[in-house]
Structure 1
Amino acid sequence: MKSDTDTIFGLGTGIYTIPDIAAILGLPQAKVRRWLHEYWNAQFGKFSPSPFSDGSGRDLITNFYTLIEFFAFYQLREEGVSTQRIIKAHQVLEKALQTNYPFAKSDIFTDGIQVLFAGEVGEIIKADETLQLTIKEVFEPFCKKVDFNKNHFAERFFPLGKEHKIIIDPKRQFGQPVIGGTNVLTETVFNLFRGGESIEVIVGLYDLTVDQVEDAIHFHRNVA
């Protein structure tokens, strides 16, 4: 039985367009669109009772868990894991973890060759057809930028890292980037700065710190 997180859109799931995902993750829009169609909807969707996206063309949207899965997918590819291994692992882990979004769980690791996940008793289980145990030195490819809830599902994403003030939380502002501790959209801050307002003025307008404003500006300059 699939978990509650498998509802594509609902309260607190966030709404993201192709440009949103591309901007947040620093990826080309064409690649995001291709990945969503070729891997999530075509490959992973074979085993899913519900689609990973809704709409079409410029109106195509997806949710927070797919955003996190894109981040995990990208990190795995950066570590040299082949696309075919990732697809196979995703399909196996869907069944093993009983979720359509296994890459949005904190149990995911990689050794650069296999895709792995942590078993309930602390072993590392190889994500292949046999689910063989393996003991290897592994690392978490994306947990440094993600907070997980008590069920080990992603609940917040920090695109610049947790040491910075930018947070993506599907329960706040429909999941658009905000300044940590507030509901102020980073785009609002950046637009004011780009329009000629000084950092000091923006700090006063929204009762922010200089660090918060500078992080918002840095974030949007990087994704511009």
Structure 2
Amino acid sequence: MGSYTAPEAARLLRTSPLNVNRWLGGYIYRRSGEERRIQPLWPTQHADIQEHLEIGFRDLIELRFVKAFLDAGVGLLAVRNCLEYARECAKDDRPFSTRRFQTDGRTIFLESIERTSEPKLLDLKKRQYVFKQVIEKTFKDLDIQDDTVARWRPFNGKQSIIIDPDRAFGQPIASQFGVPTVALAEAVEVEGSAEDVARLYDVPVAVVRDAVHFEDGLKRVA
């Protein structure tokens, strides 16, 4: 099912570990001298690990949608309401990463808002457009198998790099060769050229360069 710590997931999602911990670990805050607890959006696939937050591949993809919605201006309360209703519709605890959400996500979102007591908090016309755009854009680099997301092509949707929970514990790898992208990128720093690393790992130069650009992009966000 893949395995990621909060920092590892945050790196791939291009967000902060604090956000990942708050979304899936919950948090406590004080208001008017009273302590309040905000529950996690859902229990992780590795909820049995108590020492630290550990999440699975499906968790990662769900969080990718959560972040995309928040970045588009959809509030966390609306996302939480949509998540709750989507679970009922998709009959899946992680509905954002299902084929059902790919096809009916916009409708599910609008119906989830109608079920809340404060629909006027949202500009529905704007939000339904935003939701449609987020769903279409985010699913473009995801591969669906057996009605759920099975793989993520995280480098501009290219086939050269893939995140697959069945391979390398879900870490980014060169898809046809299985070499972790971080290993290829670090090797280029040591060897001095993509061509030398390509010969060393028996991987096409273009794939090595994609790995370097992908890893550099993650560093820039961090």
What band does the TM-score fall into relative to the shorter chain?
A: 0.7 to 0.9
CA deviation profile, 1:125-184 (whole Å, cap 9, x unmatched): 4341767xx997633241112111132x11111122223521100011110100121211
Q: CA distance change for structure 1 residues 76 and 88 in 2, over 3 Å: closer, same or farther? A: same
User: Given that residues 45 and 59 in structure 2 are in contact (C-alpha distance below 8 angstroms), is that contact kept between their aligned partners in structure 1?
Assistant: no
- Give the partner amino acid of 1:18: A
2:188, 2:4 → 1: CA distance? Answer: 24
CA deviation profile, 1:164-210 (whole Å, cap 9, x unmatched): 52110001111010012121111111121122342111111222112
Is 2:31 the counterpart of 1:31?
no
Q: Specify every segment of 5 or more residues in structure 1 that has no aligned partner in the other structure, as ranges.
A: 1-12, 110-116
Query: Could you say which residue in structure 2 is the equivalent of 1:4?
Result: none
Match of 1:19 among 4, 7, 23: 7
Query: Could you say which residue in structure 2 is the equivalent of 1:193?
Result: 188
1:148, 1:165 → 2: CA distance? Answer: 17
Larger helix proportion of the pair: 2
- Give the partner amino acid of 1:24: L
Q: CA deviation at 1:219?
A: 1.4
Q: CA deviation at 1:56?
A: 4.5
Give percent identity, aligned residues only: 26
Q: CA deviation at 1:60?
A: 2.4
Query: Could you say which residue in structure 2 is the equivalent of 1:118?
Result: 104
Q: Specify every segment of 5 or more residues in structure 2 that has no aligned partner in the other structure, as ranges.
A: 28-37, 116-123
Query: Could you say which residue in structure 1 is the equivalent of 2:49?
Result: 55
Structure 1 segments (4+ residues) deviating >4 Å: 134-137
Q: CA distance change for structure 1 residues 169 and 127 in 2, over 3 Å: closer, same or farther? A: farther
Q: CA deviation at 1:51?
A: 6.2
| RMSD between aligned residues | 2.8
1:94, 1:37 → 2: CA distance? Answer: 19
TM-score by length of 1: 0.76
Please list, as runs of the form range in 1=range in 2, the aligned pairs for 1:1-224 lying within 5 A after superposition. Answer: 13-38=1-26, 42-45=39-42, 53-56=47-50, 59-108=52-101, 118=104, 124-125=107-108, 126-128=110-112, 138-139=132-133, 140-151=136-147, 153-163=148-158, 165-224=160-219
Q: CA distance change for structure 1 residues 42 and 52 in 2, over 3 Å: closer, same or farther? A: farther
Q: CA distance change for structure 1 residues 83 and 200 in 2, over 3 Å: closer, same or farther? A: same
TM-score by length of 2: 0.76
Q: CA deviation at 1:24?
A: 1.0
2:177, 2:83 → 1: CA distance? Answer: 35
Structure with larger Rg: 2
2:76, 2:137 → 1: CA distance? Answer: 16
2:20, 2:41 → 1: CA distance? Answer: 15
1:21, 1:43 → 2: CA distance? Answer: 16
- Give the partner amino acid of 2:204: T
| Paired residue total | 194
Mean Cα displacement is larger for which, 95-104 or 189-198? 189-198
